[in-house]
Structures are given as C-alpha cells and as structure tokens.
Amino acid sequence: MGDEKVIEARFHESIDDIAVTAWDALRPDDNPFLSHAFLAGLERTGCIRPEWGWQAHHLGLYRKGVLIAAAPLYLKGNSHGEFVFDWSWASAWEQAGGEYYPKLLNAVPYSPVTGPRLLVGNDPALRELLVEAMQQQAQRLQLSSVHANFLVEEDLAAFGADWMARNDVQFHWHNHGYADFDAFLAALNHKKRKNIRHERKHVAQRGLRIAMAGGAELGMREWRRVHALYASTFDAKGNHAALTEAFFQYLRKEFGNIVQLALAWHDEEIVAMALMLRSATTLYGRYWGASVDVPDLHFELCYYQGIEYAIAQGLQRFEPGAQGEHKLARGFLPVRTHSRHYLVHEGFRSAVRRALAHECQSMDAYAEELLDHSPYATRP
C-alpha cells in the first residue's frame, strides 16, 4: 500500500521522452504554447540547442510509473529568449566570484505568453511538489537559481517564501462583446478613434492586399517566405532569429489553422506578415516581418487585423506580445505579468529581494499611470 503513494521526480533531456497523451492530459486548457507538440517542435527543429543557451530538462512526477504532474524546464546557459530580464543579477553574482549560469528555467522558450507552468491535471496539491523538485534539483546540480516566468494566478501560491516575486506589464485587448470593429472603435475616445481610422486609411491607400489566413491555407513556399520576413526583422536589428525555417514548416504541418497570419500581398508576393497562434479563448500575437517600409502597416497587421479576427471568432482576449506602450492608444490595456525566482545562495537572495521591493513600487506606480491614459471613453 505504501508504494502506491511514493512519488518519483524524473528529469528528461527531451520532451519526446514523455508520451504526448500523458503530457497533454495534464494541461488545464488548450493554450498552444504548453502543448507537447509545440515544445517538441522547438526541440526537433533546432531551436533548442546548448550553443544557444537552451538544454531541455523537463520535470515529471511519477506514481508507479505513471506521469501525474509535469513542468517545462530548461537548463539555461544565458538569459536570452526569456523576456524577464535578470542580466544585472548575473553580473552581480559573477562579480562576486560566483557562476550564475547554468540556471533552471520553468517557462516556454522565446514566448512571453502567460500560461500554466505547473501541469497537474486535477490534483492542485502536486504544484508544490513540482516546485520542491525544482529547488532540490538546483541544489543537487549546484546551480545558482531557478526561475518561473509568465505564471498564471493558479500557480503563484505553490512558490514558497524563498521565491521572490517580480511583476511586469503587458498590453492586452479584451473583447466586450463587440459586434464588429466599428463597435470597438465606438468604445474609444474621439481622438483615439480618429487616429486608428487614419492609420488604417494610410495602409488601404498603398494598394496592398491585406488578409488573414490560417496556417493550413498556405503552402510550403509561402511559409518559407513568412520565415524569411521573420528572420529579416532580427537581422535588421543585429539580433539572432532563434526560430528555424524547419520550425515554421512544422507549425504549418502540425498546427494548421491554430496558426493565423495577417498578410500583406503586393501582386503575388507576401511583403509583410504577422504570425499569431490561437486557443479557444485567446489570440496570441508573436512575430512580425516586412520587406517594405509602409507607414502604419505594422499596426494594421499586428493589431487591427488581430482585433477584427478576435471579434469575428468570439475570442475573449488578444495578447499581442511583450512591451510596447504604443499599444495603449490602440485599445490594449495594461495587465500585470508574474514571475517567481529562487536564488540558492541566501545572502544573494536577500540582497536581490531588497532591490525587488523598490522595483515593485515603481512598477505599481507605472501601471497606475498607464490606466490613467486609457483610450476608452469609459473604462470597460
């Protein structure tokens, strides 16, 4: 009888070591970024590799050999692709003679999307066991820290007093039962409504064909073009495009119309794109790229096409990605995001905790200030 209660923690160097059905059965919703298929796709197509600072180290809890809880987990050799910035912590620890990397990260790579990070099926008590297993693994491997990024509210309580809280702000659009885009515009104040109409008119006058398309509607050649536009955006800024063309083709084959693309065509060529994924309730904006310089085209593809799609599909939210105060004027309101951080060294942890107290006060003030500049005629 006692053996039936024994829970074993195992760490996996590939998510393909875990059965698809076992992993997905633990998900509380259809957030696509937490699906086995999405995480496996990143690994299979060369987006997760040690030389880029990523090594899969997924956590599973097992009872009698059966997976009962899991967490997407990575050994990180740097802090790229996380969107919760701890560069100053790494610098301080290394200046003090420590080694900050590798660290453990409980998150979805390259995706600043809030979602479940502690997958427990119908047994919420297992969340704390997952967190405990991550802490113990950090001690066992003599790592500096463990980090959990973009957490849902349900996961927060599982992280104990030794974990430090950080908050940030993103801008999300919420559907208040709008019948169409004009109904959404009617909810805005006059100045913002006029500005959006002006931006959309600018784009319409350029002779481009603008349309939303499901991922399954595009062929291999068109997806190759979409990836080239994505990569060119990073190249132009001197950054590294971490997602491979093979991953984009994987999205085409495995995700179909879960992927939605806002496209601008000139004749028969795609000249700009915004790639999004969707769940039953939410549209997630992810990547943008363009080969033409058209004023306001970014706003049209990344925001307005997505809002129109969300209204037409009856989705509740549109989350267009990280950062960007310019989103506020276009109907996206500030929401708080949550991360938790465990630093193994108690003295270092205390010093960072003091700094975070000041950061939290500043973030609270910033969020309140943003709400004072709501674009809506009355607060929704």
Unique residue bearing structure tokens 């967490």: 71
Quote the pLDDT of residue 90. 96
Q: What is the CATH code for 176-315?
A: 3.40.630.30
Taking alpha carbons only, the member of 26, 15, 115, 125 closest to residue 59 is 15
Task: Output the pTM of the full model.
Answer: 0.95
Residue 5 — very low, low, confident or very high, per pLDDT cuts 50/70/90?
Answer: confident
Q: What DSSP designation does 70 have? A: E
Query: Which residues neighbour 374 within 8 Å (Cβ) at sequence distance 6 or greater?
Result: 328, 333
Quote the pLDDT of residue 1. 39
Q: Is the pLDDT of residue 2 over 60?
A: no
Which residues face 262 on adjacent strands?
212, 274
* 218 vs 132: CA distance, rounded Å: 45
Alpha helix segments (H runs only) across the chain: 20-24, 36-44, 87-95, 126-140, 153-156, 181-186, 190-204, 220-236, 245-255, 297-299, 305-313, 346-371
- Buried/exposed 139-177: b ≥16 CB within 10 Å, e otherwise: eeeebbbbbbbbbeeebbebbeeebbebebbbbbbebee
- The domains of the chain are located at 2-167+335-371, 176-315
Calculate ∠ Cα 13-19-21, nearest 5°.
140
Q: Strand 103-106 and strand 73-76: pairing?
A: antiparallel
Q: Strand 73-76 and strand 54-56: pairing?
A: antiparallel
Please list the helix, strand and coil fractions of the chain in percent, rounded to the nearest 5, in that order: 40, 25, 35
pLDDT above 90 coverage of the chain, percent:
90
* 294 vs 272: CA distance, rounded Å: 10
Per-residue model confidence as pLDDT tens digits over 258-304: 999 999 999 999 999 999 999 999 999 999 999 999 999 999 999 99
Alpha helix segments (H runs only) across 171-304: 181-186, 190-204, 220-236, 245-255, 297-299
Residue 175 — very low, low, confident or very high, per pLDDT cuts 50/70/90?
Answer: very high
Q: Is the pLDDT of residue 136 over 80?
A: yes
Provide the mean pLDDT of the chain.
95
Taking alpha carbons only, the member of 17, 348, 15, 321 closest to residue 170 is 321
* 258 vs 155: CA distance, rounded Å: 25
Per-residue model confidence as pLDDT tens digits over 333-380: 999 999 999 999 999 999 999 889 888 888 888 988 998 899 999 866
Quote the pLDDT of residue 3. 64
* 277 vs 214: CA distance, rounded Å: 10
Quote the pLDDT of residue 372. 86
Mean per-residue pLDDT for 171-179?
Answer: 97
Q: Structurally, what CATH architecture does the domain formed by 2-167+335-371 represent?
A: 3-Layer(aba) Sandwich (3.40)
Per-residue model confidence as pLDDT tens digits over 51-82: 999 999 999 999 999 999 999 999 999 999 99
Quote the pLDDT of residue 22. 98
User: 141: helix, coil or strand?
Assistant: coil
Domains 2-167+335-371 and 176-315 in one fold? yes
